[in-house]
Amino acid sequence: MAPSSGPYDVIVAGLGAMGSSAAYHLAQRGARVLGLDAFAPGHTNGSSHGETRIIRLSYFEHPDYVPLLRRAYQLWQEAQTEVGETLFLVTGGIYIGPPNGELVAGATRSAREHRLAHHLLGAAEVRRSFRELRPADGDSALFEPQAGILFPERCIAAHQTLAAARGAELRHSEPLLRWDPDGDGVRVVTERHVFRAAKLVLTAGAWMPRLLGPAVPLPLRVERNVVFWLRPPGLQRFSAPAFPIFIWETPQGHFYGLPHVRQRGVKVALHHTGQYGDPDTIDREVRQEDEAPVRQFVRAHIPRLDGPVESSLVCLYTLTPDGHFVIDSHPAHPQVVFASACSGHGFKFASVVGEILADLALTGRAAPAAEFLRLARLQTPKP
């Protein structure tokens, strides 16, 4: 092992969506940043791959996310302009399901509370306006024009490029093995080096439980999820704007899909599978039983999408008990901050989460809009 290196102002452990953004925002503020990642750039072991991700404002999960989303949109635009590459595409988005269900009622609440542009549609209006979609007669929908697509591999590469241009040192295939408090700072150990820094940012996704330690009683579960690209006849019919991003609430769960972009198919998946495991040993082979619920959904609601599987992949969700993110300082070691457990809906927030983590690391405070994501809400008071 090499002798100690540093000191750095901040070490970021995990250079996926959240960590690459944090490294960029920290370096942008003049901090001396070291970024560490367990895998090579562009890996497919975590939660930040797969050509496209949804970005949307009428957030059915909770209206409190909307101010963060507005800031995320602004930051994605700024990063896109600076890097000179398309990071997102506006396609419009439609959310379909029972009018009083979680999805449509929740999206409507957020849209109305925050005065977002939106249109409420009945099932017949959906069928007229979006010819490929077949909602049941009792379904309703909310359409929002500002929803769209992020390109995750490009977004992460852009944040890494911008961070490095501002002096951040990024090391891939060098996982953090252990960290320890070192006075008011931290000592970080990898297989090859020992590093020291004033602050540590943990953004290791599904590997967070083993890095946070027992002082952070955060019960996280890692869920195996499978994404498919289907290649129907007449693929161009499934391009935006005729075919926007969608989320669809059914008795079998929430399904989502994104229009054809570059890959020779249309991306569609079941949002939660209920299959849990360890990120190092979880089954990463796509099986016939993974396809069955997606195929059943497509045949019932988007019948002309019922083409062969062009490609598929496994990705991981890291889930909190309440499905919301956790962004906070370590309760026992305030020089350590972390963001994790984005519960399968976090990528769109990466640009603003990086900014929040930079605030926490450098000032100890974050924007008031992020207060509802702190750890305390999940901690049971002692009797």
**Predicted confidence (pLDDT) per residue in 217-258, tens digit:** 788 899 999 999 999 999 999 999 999 999 999 999 999 999
**Predicted confidence (pLDDT) per residue in 306-330, tens digit:** 999 999 999 999 999 999 999 999 9
Distance (Å, whole) CA 211 – CA 127: 49
Percent of the chain predicted with pLDDT > 70:
97
Task: Output the average pLDDT for the chain.
Answer: 93
Distance of CA 271 to the CA centre of its chain: 13
CB 317 within 8 A of CB 225: yes
**Predicted confidence (pLDDT) per residue in 268-278, tens digit:** 999 999 999 99
Q: Which pTM was predicted?
A: 0.94
**What residues are labeled active site?**
49, 52-53, 267, 271, 315, 348
Q: What value does the mean pLDDT take over residues 101-130? A: 98
- Strand 221-230 relative to strand 194-202: parallel, antiparallel, unpaired? unpaired
Tell me, what's the pLDDT at 75? Answer: 98
Tell me, what's the pLDDT at 209? Answer: 79
Distance (Å, whole) CA 47 – CA 208: 13
Distance (Å, whole) CA 233 – CA 298: 14
Tell me, what's the pLDDT at 3? Answer: 52
Length of the chain: 383
CB 312 within 8 A of CB 286: yes
Distance (Å, whole) CA 77 – CA 71: 10
CB 23 within 8 A of CB 160: yes
